Structure 1
């Protein structure tokens, strides 16, 4: 009984140390000007996606064909699109699909990869073989081609269908990373001590293994959010993403490709996509550097 109590007390101490470590991590991140700036930009994009009316009161679907492809004008800083709709309003409202797909797919991918990686790394044998072989099958498929084929077979493509297909094809990489990290954690002293006194496996995974193995997956997932923004735009540009009347940066790219005499149709969505992608990448780099034990010394 005393050994079990000692293990539970050590768990409490480790949890307190982990909380302190998280505070130190936050302080280290806030000391990086590029992290703060990119976080503000990302939060602005989130707010833009959640409440677009804060940024524009113009209806993005109110159009005047007489103003088709015209440049900037008073009250219309981005000009007009092909149908004469205010392009600033269209770009603002186009943030919602891109942000929603990238964030939901990233969070969902992190959770799936974390759970499957924990199970595969902690339970060698049948569980590991089942998960790893399934991942190998998905790894053998060319990613973008698989996405195009699957989405092209779906008649009505919504945001949630696109997110589901991305999750279906993207989790193996994160699972492999989590699995390899769990292998290095599962034989550490605190895990062996908890296992020796009969602590349930799920408690060990939740209290000991996951907090000590999640850092590489978290950094990789943060870096990948920006790539998902571009992926949504690519899929919509290729005609297998969101469908009209949905407004997104990818659909604006598709229209801009056919009207090269109106460069503003390309410049503005490209600028927003690039800014959001680079911001997420810098945030991911900052988190990865802060979580690197060598850099924390």
Structure 2
């Protein structure tokens, strides 16, 4: 017989409190709608009758190079005569894919390392803490540049894996702290006294209660990863043509800002809205999970 699950153990009361806090904030709904729209655009870039850009991002005409916004090209064209709007739509899939894949990979490593360190303690905690410190000692962008420069393939998967290598340590520390706090709870002590296996205790009681703070940080991480990918691509060490991404659009427009500001303005605007929405969602979720913020 397992110990009775208290409201703190199953998290239902906490989830209801978090939802009540979030739904009263207009900024939450604005950011949520923005992120949901971007997700739809990424999932169906040419769907809904071409509403989100049914054209071909590689269909370019040099005769229409650097044309400003107008009929047929609502956001204008770039130097190669490619439609900027279509590039932004297809770049949404690339940027969100890298952001989500990197965060998922980093989250998986963080849960494995953080849960082991927090639940086991002792020598396992000490060893994993030192490993985490080693990875934290590498400068994020510099480390990514060094690794990407040494690889021939700079696909979405490659960039995601490289970014995940430098992203997981921060989340691992948060998981470790949350797990240690949960392990001190009475329902975990009762489960141990009942003789339940460690794996069942972790899955049934520890992880569900340590998940909230980590997911809040993960939401913020998606925005940070999108910025990092765009920065690396802008510097010439990230994605490369024929890939379509916001970073590539920014890189090709940097020298044309004075003559053709629209080439830099629109990709920058979309990137900023995406990152701000994701980071704001993460901040609001983190505040809502804090009892002092409800």
Taking the aligned partners of 1:151 and 1:130, their CA distance within structure 2 comes to: 28
Displacement of 1:93 after TM fit?
1.0
Larger displacement relative to structure 2 (267-276 or 182-191): 182-191
1:44 aligns with 2:41: no
**What 5-or-longer segments of structure 1 have no aligned partner?**
none
Matched residue, 1:235: 232
Taking the aligned partners of 1:45 and 1:85, their CA distance within structure 2 comes to: 21
Paired residues, number: 289
Taking the aligned partners of 2:203 and 2:10, their CA distance within structure 1 comes to: 16
Task: Pick one of 7, 22, 26 that aligns with 1:29.
Answer: 22
Q: Which runs of 4+ in 1 moved over 3 A?
A: 13-17
Residue by residue, what CA displacement relative to the aligned partner does 1:127-185 show, whole Å, maximum 9, x if unpaired?
22332221121112111110000011110111011111111121111111221222222
User: Do 2:9 and 2:209's aligned partners in 1 also have CA atoms closer than 8 Å?
Assistant: no
Taking the aligned partners of 1:269 and 1:152, their CA distance within structure 2 comes to: 25
Please, what is the CA RMSD of the aligned residues?
A: 1.7
Matched residue, 1:125: 122
Displacement of 1:203 after TM fit?
1.2
Taking the aligned partners of 2:196 and 2:247, their CA distance within structure 1 comes to: 50
Residue by residue, what CA displacement relative to the aligned partner does 1:45-91 show, whole Å, maximum 9, x if unpaired?
11111111131122111111111001012121111110111111111
Displacement of 1:232 after TM fit?
0.9
Shift in alpha-carbon separation, 1:45–1:262, aligned structure 2, 3 A: same
Taking the aligned partners of 1:121 and 1:16, their CA distance within structure 2 comes to: 18
Displacement of 1:228 after TM fit?
1.2
Displacement of 1:294 after TM fit?
1.6
User: Do 2:75 and 2:85's aligned partners in 1 also have CA atoms closer than 8 Å?
Assistant: yes
Displacement of 1:14 after TM fit?
4.5
Matched residue, 2:219: 222
Task: Pick one of 103, 106, 110 that aligns with 1:106.
Answer: 103
Taking the aligned partners of 1:95 and 1:265, their CA distance within structure 2 comes to: 16
TM-score (norm 1): 0.92
Larger displacement relative to structure 2 (125-134 or 227-236): 125-134
User: Do 1:114 and 1:214's aligned partners in 2 also have CA atoms closer than 8 Å?
Assistant: no
1:166 aligns with 2:163: yes
**What 5-or-longer segments of structure 2 have no aligned partner?**
none
User: Do 1:252 and 1:269's aligned partners in 2 also have CA atoms closer than 8 Å?
Assistant: yes
Taking the aligned partners of 2:13 and 2:212, their CA distance within structure 1 comes to: 16
Taking the aligned partners of 1:193 and 1:254, their CA distance within structure 2 comes to: 58
Displacement of 1:15 after TM fit?
8.3
> SS at the partner of 1:258?
helix
